[in-house]
């Protein structure tokens, strides 16, 4: 964080200093986990469900923090007292980013691919200047201010993922950390249970471009009509990316290699350049174009950009993580999360990687689909069968419609089985996997990732019992 006196902190958060020196300066980081506090830092005490942060206030002072920001006094501890600690962290973050004129904030939203693309943008922007981006999917009203507070006078780029579970969420996150470049990836059906309709999801995601200043930039997916339509919701300039012929930053001649890695010709107003990605899956064309549109805006020349795209790697785990086992089995660990759109891209990647090899998909339940739950699962099963996946292992009774959707495809040559749990899936895999097989593992979070872990452990020779 930029150094601030406690008086400045108190003003920023509308708080009251108790037993604290207004002229003392916070020079370290702002932490809400007492194990992470450092000398010169600020500790934020949250009243948690299991533990109350205020119980760790004294320890934080011993570890050298200048003060504790919290909601009640702790005897002997210099405090910044506020009504709501989370709200205070948000206000503090806003104060910090407002004091950093050299900072360009990039915000990303969409139904799928936010974390992936956030990591891509951050890798590209790091080549241009010091970049702060959150680890993994730290994209909520706590992760946001926490990440923004990492920015200081050295930071040129702050790359933020904006998740939304309802109308107004993205707008709120943009009030905490206002973007100058807003990227909207796609409007799918994730969390549709909470939103009610796809139109509402579009309404919520579009708040990201509404938050732009007139001299900002909206980066919109030309291939997704609900995203492209968001152009009318901002005063800012718009750059379209995609495969559509009229996209400003587009990919032509897309081909996948035997590992499912796309190559394409990158076409921008500055010219054309060949790109060969090291990332797996057709969907990475779209994600890398979005990242390219941002890097171009930040000033990266075309040839350097094409080269940099080819050097992009995976940063966050369990997202299209492809690895080969010594026994000749290839595993695609995409088990971080799942919704119908991301299931679809993952199954297509499996099919692309398959090419002549036997393909196995281990698919689990997709959470938060609401009334769309049955159809969402059944369509995934149908797609797997239509793309000729050879073996389908459906994990858990709640995911049964995937099995039903697949078996309803009459001319499918593959086979599906519904299994009670992950352990059963691991057992079947140990029984059936042969050298050369390609296995995809995907579901909503913990619902399949033990299967991926078991496949990994088997490869390293450990036996996961
Ligand atoms: N552009 C995309 N369109 C559809 N699905 C995607 C896209 N990019 C990634 N995915 C899929 O979504 C999964 C989750 O990706 P992630 O980047 O964590 O998304 P988010 O942060 O939006 O939840 C990936 O593992 C992949 O299967
Ligand atoms: Mg995410």
pLDDT digits (tens, 9 = 90+) for 360-393: 999 999 998 988 999 999 999 999 999 999 999 9
pLDDT bucket at 189, cuts 50 / 70 / 90: confident
Longest dimension (CA), the chain: 76
Q: Is the pLDDT of residue 84 over 50?
A: yes
Q: For residue 306, what pLDDT is reported?
A: 98
Instruction: Give the nearest ligand 1 atom to 139 CA.
Output: 21
- Mean pLDDT over residues 237-257, rounded? 97
pLDDT in tens, 341-350: 999 999 999 9
> Which pairs count as long-range contacts for 397-401, CB under 8 Å and 24+ apart, including other chains?
398/365, 399/363, 399/364, 399/365, 399/366, 399/443, 399/447, 401/373, 401/374, 401/375, 401/376, 401/377
Q: For residue 136, what pLDDT is reported?
A: 86
Q: For residue 465, what pLDDT is reported?
A: 40
Is the domain defined by 4-84 classed in CATH 3.40.1390.10?
Answer: yes
Q: For residue 137, what pLDDT is reported?
A: 84
Q: Is the pLDDT of residue 156 over 50?
A: yes
**Edge to edge, what strands does the sheet with 104-109 contain?**
131-132, 157-161, 104-109, 181-184, 217-221, 237-242, 249-256, 262-268, 271-276
Q: For residue 48, what pLDDT is reported?
A: 76
Lowest mean pLDDT, pick from 81-90, 186-195, 275-284, 415-424: 186-195
3-class secondary-structure state, position 319: coil
Ligand 1 centre distance from Cα of residue 284 (Å): 9
The annotation places the binding site for ATP at: 110-116
Name the residue at shortest CA distance from atom 9 of ligand 1. 113
Would you kindly state where each structural domain of the chain is located, as residue ranges? 4-84, 100-311, 321-460
Which token pair is 428?
């079947």
- Mean pLDDT over residues 39-57, rounded? 92
Ligand 1 centre distance from Cα of residue 114 (Å): 6
CATH class of 321-460: alpha beta
Q: Which residues contact 465 (CB under 8 A, 6 or more apart)?
A: none
Q: For residue 461, what pLDDT is reported?
A: 58
Name the residue at shortest CA distance from atom 27 of ligand 1. 342
- CA 76 to CA 63: how far, in whole Å? 14
Q: Is the pLDDT of residue 464 over 70?
A: no
- CA 147 to CA 13: how far, in whole Å? 17
Q: Using alpha carbons only, what angle is made at residue 43 by residues 40 and 44, rounded to the nearest 5 degrees?
A: 150
Q: Is the pLDDT of residue 244 over 80?
A: yes
The model's pTM: 0.92
Q: Is the pLDDT of residue 463 over 60?
A: no
- Classify domain 100-311 at the CATH superfamily level: Mur-like, catalytic domain (3.40.1190.10)
Residue from 171, 176, 182, 175 nearest 204 by CA: 171
């Amino acid at each position: 964080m930029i150094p601030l006196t406690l008086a400045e902190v108190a003003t920023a958060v509308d708080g009251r200093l108790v037993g604290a020196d207004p002229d003392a300066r916070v020079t370290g980081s702002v932490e809400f986990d007492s194990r992470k506090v450092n000398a010169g830092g600020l500790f934020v005490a949250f009243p948690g469900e299991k533990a109350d942060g205020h119980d760790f206030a004294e320890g934080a002072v011993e570890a050298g923090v200048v003060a504790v920001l919290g909601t009640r006094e702790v005897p002997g501890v210099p405090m910044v007292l506020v009504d709501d600690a989370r709200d205070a962290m948000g206000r503090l973050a806003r104060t910090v980013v407002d004091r950093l004129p050299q900072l360009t904030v990039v915000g990303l939203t969409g139904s799928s691919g936010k974390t992936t693309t956030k990591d891509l943008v951050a890798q590209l922007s790091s080549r241009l200047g010091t970049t702060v981006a959150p680890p993994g999917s730290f994209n909520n009203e706590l992760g946001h201010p926490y990440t923004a507070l990492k920015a200081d006078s050295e930071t040129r780029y702050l790359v933020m993922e904006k998740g939304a579970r309802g109308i107004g969420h993205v707008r709120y996150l943009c009030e905490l950390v206002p973007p100058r470049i807003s990227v909207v990836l796609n409007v799918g059906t994730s969390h549709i249970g909470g939103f009610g309709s796809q139109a509402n999801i579009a309404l919520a995601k579009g708040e990201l471009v509404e938050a732009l200043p007139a001299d900002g930039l909206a980066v919109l997916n030309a291939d997704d009509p609900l995203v492209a339509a968001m152009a009318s919701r901002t005063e800012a300039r718009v750059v379209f990316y995609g495969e559509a012929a009229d996209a400003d930053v587009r990919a032509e001649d897309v081909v996948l290699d035997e590992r499912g890695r796309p190559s394409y010709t990158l076409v921008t107003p500055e010219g054309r350049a060949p790109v060969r990605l090291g990332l797996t899956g057709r969907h990475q064309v779209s994600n890398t174009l979005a990242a390219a549109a941002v890097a171009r805006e930040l000033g990266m020349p075309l040839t350097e950009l094409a080269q940099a795209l080819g050097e992009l790697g995976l940063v966050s785990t369990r997202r299209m993580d492809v690895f080969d086992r010594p026994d000749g089995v290839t595993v695609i660990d995409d088990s971080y999360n799942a919704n119908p759109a991301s299931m679809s891209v993952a199954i297509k990647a499996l099919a692309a990687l398959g090419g002549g090899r036997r393909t196995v998909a281990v698919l689990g339940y997709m959470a938060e689909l609401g009334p769309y739950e049955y159809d969402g699962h059944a369509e995934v099963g149908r797609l797997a069968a239509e793309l000729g996946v050879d073996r389908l292992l459906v994990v858990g009774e709640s995911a049964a419609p995937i099995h039903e959707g697949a078996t309803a495809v009459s001319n499918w040559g593959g086979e599906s089985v519904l299994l009670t749990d992950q352990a059963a899936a691991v057992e079947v895999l140990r029984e059936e996997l042969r050298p050369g097989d390609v296995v995809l593992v995907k579901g909503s979070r913990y619902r399949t990732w033990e299967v991926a872990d078991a496949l990994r452990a088997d490869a390293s020779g450990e036996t996961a019992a």
